[in-house]
Amino acid sequence: MPGVEGFMYPNEIELQWSVLIVLYPFLTGLVAGAFILASLERVFRVQAVKPTYRLALLTALSFLLVAPLPLQLHLGHPERSFEMYLTPHRTSAMAMFGFVYVWYLMAVLVLEIWLDYRRDIVVLSESTTGWRRWIYRMMTLGSHNLSERALAIDERVGYLITVIGIPSAFLLHGYVGFIFGSVKANPWWSTPLMPVVFIFSAMVSGIAAVMVLYMLMTWSRGRSIDMRCVDTVARYLFYTFIIDFSLEMLDLIHRIYESDESFRSLDFMVHTKLYLSHIVVQIVLGTVTPIALLGLTQVVKLTEMARKRIYALAGCLTLIGIFAMRWNVVIGGQLFSKSFLGYTTYKMGLVTREGLLVAIVLTVLPLVILWVLVKLLPPWTERNSGLLPDARAAH
Amino acid sequence: MRDTEHSGLGTASCIQLTATSEPEGGRASLRRARSSTGTTMHAFKDSGHLFRLAAVFVAGILVFLVLRGFLVPKSFGQYGHYRGNAMAEIAARPVNFAGHETCETCHADVLDKKKDGKHAHVNCEACHGPLAKHADDPASVQPPKLDTAVLCVRCHEANAAKPKTFPQVASADHSTGLPCDTCHQPHSPVIGGGAK
């Protein structure tokens, strides 16, 4: 049989989870990571990253809105997914995801963004015209109260939501890792480290994404990049990446030392079918290189331009590396037989419902949503930026 | 409905209006002298937008609960985590399998061949397919003739995952495409055991 080596059980020959299921943890990881970056400013009072605070929140919302779409496209009957809300099955981790998702979307992200932007929304509802005015008016919920006390209440409630949001972000992405980690029949996935590795890799990808987006957007707006901010974000990315890499290496060393009955099969796979995506792209290109680049900026005094270029390159490589990590987990876990006697091949469709084209569209869609959100709710803290000439003056 | 009491809005300069409304010393002491009821009322008014937001959330939850009331079948959860009425609906579906006891009432000769052979515990419809219609009307509904070259290898094709004690052959080498019943009697599959 083409693409099959050795012995495969019949239900293992064709992969059930496609590139869309690779995309799903990648997108939710960006959400959780972006939110954790936002919380640095709000909860941990890291003032240097303030310019990225609102952008991080909007990025998280954009990606969170798209995150369920890969799952919906994977389902044969997407309309039935709503039934997990109607008749919740409390013993199913996958079914409970719906509630984790809604909690994170409505009780954390939307609420925090609304509270943070309320002052701007009220001002914009008065200063804009046409359809924009109607949108902002709807968003004010009819309350134009901008008294000091009201804004102080917003600040306190927003802080509380961010505090609740941090464990929620961990829950959102830790859950994704939990789903894989709890599949005891699959030795490639079944490890209690999986949720922890997923959380830290999520933080890495989210911080890298916001850093790259901030630099890209600031450059496209013709403004100067706040280097104190980007230096701080890059430093946090470096620290988080070291923890993430250490955890992944711990998992790897543990597997090698333990050498259980699956080891030979997995080892063979890493040296053959997954060599390019795992060793070359994930570890060398997507992990060691960006860590080395970011480490270089920490120990060598470089010019501003050099640092910008290094951050941009390291950020992009990080995102590629984290996507490769998701690929190696999801696709890699399905390439070998549970008999450990054979291997199959993943052939990705191009213009199918779960093919490459759809995956590209779903990767670009959050950026389009982000563009709309940035137009609607400008995240920039400088004066005279975008739609809101004076609103930030009182900040 | 608009809560404009505190806004003083008209333009973006509202921020300045609110920013300059910092109480001075005299006003602050006057405010402190106010009754606790007044302070609570102010706090209540200044939280008005949060109450509105809470109302939106509550409305959303209510809409969901009403929808749920309509969409979840009444019999859901009657016996378990499924629709109770599904049991009766499934039971009302036409029966496809007749069961080997029904087959044996007419085909006693086949039963005699099977009972001492390796296929004694293989039910008739496992190979012949569902035949309830044939059992209901044997004259007009005839089961199709089986192609043993295709049928037998479904179980007996050599496969490393099967127990070593299970009879299995590499059919391409073993029979070179010939139907298995050329040599074997399917109802009691030993060579020379009355192969037709």
Q: Is the pLDDT of residue B13 over 80?
A: no
CB pairs under 8 A between A and B: 107
Record: contact B161-A390, CB cut-off 8 A: no
Residue of A nearest to B14 (CA): A123
Residue of A nearest to B160 (CA): A7
Record: contact B6-A153, CB cut-off 8 A: no
B42 touches chain A (CB under 8 A): yes
Nearest to A104 by CA among A91, A113, A115: A113
Question: pLDDT: is B160 or A330 the higher one?
Answer: A330
Residues 306-365 (A) with a CB less than 8 A from some CB of B: 339, 341
Record: contact A126-B10, CB cut-off 8 A: yes
Record: contact A143-B71, CB cut-off 8 A: no
Residue of B nearest to A115 (CA): B50
Min distance A141 CA to chain B CA atoms (Å)? 7
What pLDDT, on a 0 to 100 scale, did the predictor assign at position A395? 39
Chain B residues in contact with A118 by the CB 8 A cut-off are 49
Q: How is B50-94 classified by DSSP, letter by letter?
A: HHHHHHHHHHHHHHHHHHHHHHS-TTBTSSSSSBTHHHHHHHTSP
CB contact burial B164-191 (16+ within 10 A = b; e otherwise):
eeeebeebeeebeeebbbebbbbbbbee
A89 touches chain B (CB under 8 A): yes
Per-residue pLDDT tens over the stretch A303-337? 999 999 999 999 999 999 999 999 999 999 999 99
What are the residues whose beta carbons fall under 8 Å from the beta carbon of A207, sequence distance 6 or more?
A: A33, A34, A36, A37, A233, A236, A237, A240
Provide mean pLDDT across the span A263-273.
92
Chain A residues in contact with B2 by the CB 8 A cut-off are 142-144
What are the residues whose beta carbons fall under 8 Å from the beta carbon of B35, sequence distance 6 or more?
A: none
Residue of A nearest to B71 (CA): A86
Min distance B24 CA to chain A CA atoms (Å)? 14
Min distance B171 CA to chain A CA atoms (Å)? 17
Question: pLDDT: is B10 or B166 the higher one?
Answer: B166
Q: Are A37 and A233 in contact (CB under 8 A)?
A: yes
A149 touches chain B (CB under 8 A): yes
Record: contact B57-A106, CB cut-off 8 A: yes
Q: Is the pLDDT of residue A133 over 60?
A: yes
A142 touches chain B (CB under 8 A): yes
Per-residue pLDDT tens over the stretch A221-250? 999 999 999 999 999 999 999 999 999 999
Q: Which of the residue ranges A161-170, A174-183, B59-68 has the most confident prediction, judged by mean pLDDT?
A: B59-68
Local confidence band at B44 (pLDDT 50, 70, 90 cut-offs) = confident
ipTM of the complex: 0.81
Record: contact A149-B42, CB cut-off 8 A: yes
Q: What's the N-to-C CA distance of chain A in angstroms?
A: 66
Residue of B nearest to A141 (CA): B52
- Out of A85, A141, A389, the one facing B49 most closely (by C-beta) is A141
Region of poorest pLDDT, from B30-39, B71-80, B151-160, B176-185: B30-39
Compute the distance between CA of residue B18 and CA of residue B12 in angstroms, rounded to an integer.
Answer: 11
Reduced to 3 states, what is the DSSP secondary structure of residue A104?
helix
Q: Which of the residue ranges A2-16, B4-18, B22-36 has the most confident prediction, judged by mean pLDDT?
A: A2-16
Q: Are A248 and A288 in contact (CB under 8 A)?
A: no
What pLDDT, on a 0 to 100 scale, did the predictor assign at position A214? 95
User: Half-sphere exposure of B119 toward its Cβ, with a 13 Å CA cutoff?
Assistant: 22
B4 touches chain A (CB under 8 A): yes
Provide mean pLDDT across the span B30-57.
73
What pLDDT, on a 0 to 100 scale, did the predictor assign at position A107? 87
What are the residues whose beta carbons fall under 8 Å from the beta carbon of A282, sequence distance 6 or more?
A: A321, A324, A325, A327, A328
Q: What share of chain B is helix, strand, coil (3-state, %, to 5)?
A: 50, 5, 50
A1 touches chain B (CB under 8 A): no
Compute the distance between CA of residue A196 and CA of residue A198 in angstroms, rounded to an integer.
Answer: 5
Chain B residues in contact with A85 by the CB 8 A cut-off are 64, 68
Record: contact B12-A389, CB cut-off 8 A: yes
Instruction: Give me the residues paired with residue A343 across strands.
Output: A5, A336
Local confidence band at A377 (pLDDT 50, 70, 90 cut-offs) = very high
Token pair of A254 as six digits: 């543990």
Q: Are B194 and B113 in contact (CB under 8 A)?
A: yes
Local confidence band at B29 (pLDDT 50, 70, 90 cut-offs) = very low
Region of poorest pLDDT, from A71-75, A386-390, B73-77: A386-390
Torsion of CA A337, A342, A346, A352, to 10 degrees: -70
Record: contact B57-A390, CB cut-off 8 A: no
Token pair of B112 as six digits: 């005699």
Residue type, A276: L
What are the residues whose beta carbons fall under 8 Å from the beta carbon of B111, sequence distance 6 or more?
A: B104
Provide mean pLDDT across the span A376-382.
85
Question: pLDDT: is A55 or B160 the higher one?
Answer: A55
Residues 7-26 (B) with a CB less than 8 A from some CB of A: 7, 9-16, 18-19, 21-22
Q: Are A179 and A94 in contact (CB under 8 A)?
A: yes
Mean pLDDT, chain A, whole residue set: 91
What pLDDT, on a 0 to 100 scale, did the predictor assign at position A388? 56
Record: contact A86-B72, CB cut-off 8 A: yes
What pLDDT, on a 0 to 100 scale, did the predictor assign at position B23? 42
Count of other CB atoms within 10 angstroms of residue A266: 20
User: Half-sphere exposure of A241 toward its Cβ, with a 13 Å CA cutoff?
Assistant: 29
Per-residue pLDDT tens over the stretch A47-89? 898 999 999 999 999 999 999 999 999 999 999 999 999 999 8
Residue type, A227: M
Local confidence band at B196 (pLDDT 50, 70, 90 cut-offs) = very low
Q: What is the largest CA-CA distance in chain B?
A: 116
Region of poorest pLDDT, from A183-197, A344-358, B33-47, B108-122: B33-47
Provide mean pLDDT across the span B177-193.
84
Record: contact B68-A86, CB cut-off 8 A: yes
Record: contact B6-A145, CB cut-off 8 A: yes
Give the mutation candidate from B22, B40, B46 for the A interface (greatest A CB count, under 10 A).
B46
Min distance A307 CA to chain B CA atoms (Å)? 38
Q: Where are the domains of chain B?
A: 1-46, 49-93, 96-143, 145-196
Compute the distance between CA of residue A145 and CA of residue A151 in angstroms, rounded to an integer.
Answer: 8
Record: contact B50-A114, CB cut-off 8 A: no
Provide mean pLDDT across the span B94-107.
94
Q: Are A190 and A181 in contact (CB under 8 A)?
A: yes
Q: Is the pLDDT of residue A380 over 90?
A: no
